[in-house]
Amino acid sequence: MKWGTVDMSYGLFVGSFTIKNNNSYAVADLRISCQVTAPSGTQVGAYDFTLYEVVGANKSKTVRHRFGLWPDQGKSVSCGVIGSERR
């Protein structure tokens, strides 16, 4: 995943990111897990969700998502696709 825009105004976390499918087949229903860390490196939050989109074979898709509240002590976030369905 590659981050695009990120907005944490008013304590809400909204961001766009691009998912690249390097497979020779389409994937759908991508399960995404994100961890928020404090300046010390301690995990202070997590976001797990399913993105009900299809990403074609050898294609990329940019998506905007509302994650929810941003933890007060959060400094950075790291996300990755942890599963998907083959189409």
Residue 6 pLDDT grade (very low, low, confident, very high; cuts 50, 70, 90):
confident
**Vertex 81: Cα angle to 79 and 85 (nearest 5):** 160
- Whole-Å CA distances, 62 to 10, 11, 17, 41, 73: 24, 23, 6, 28, 28
Residue 3 scores a pLDDT above 90:
no
Residue 1 scores a pLDDT above 80:
no
Class of domain 2-86 (CATH, top level): mainly beta
Q: What is the mean pLDDT of the chain?
A: 93
Domain residue limits, the chain: 2-86
CA 8 to chain CA centroid, nearest Å = 15
Specify the higher pLDDT residue, 1 or 58: 58
20-45 pLDDT, tens digit per residue, is: 999 999 999 999 999 999 999 999 99
Contact 4, 18 (CB under 8 A): yes
76: tokens are 């950075």
Cα gap 11→79, rounded to integer Å:
19
Cα gap 83→33, rounded to integer Å:
9
45-87 pLDDT, tens digit per residue, is: 999 999 999 999 999 999 999 999 999 999 999 999 999 999 9
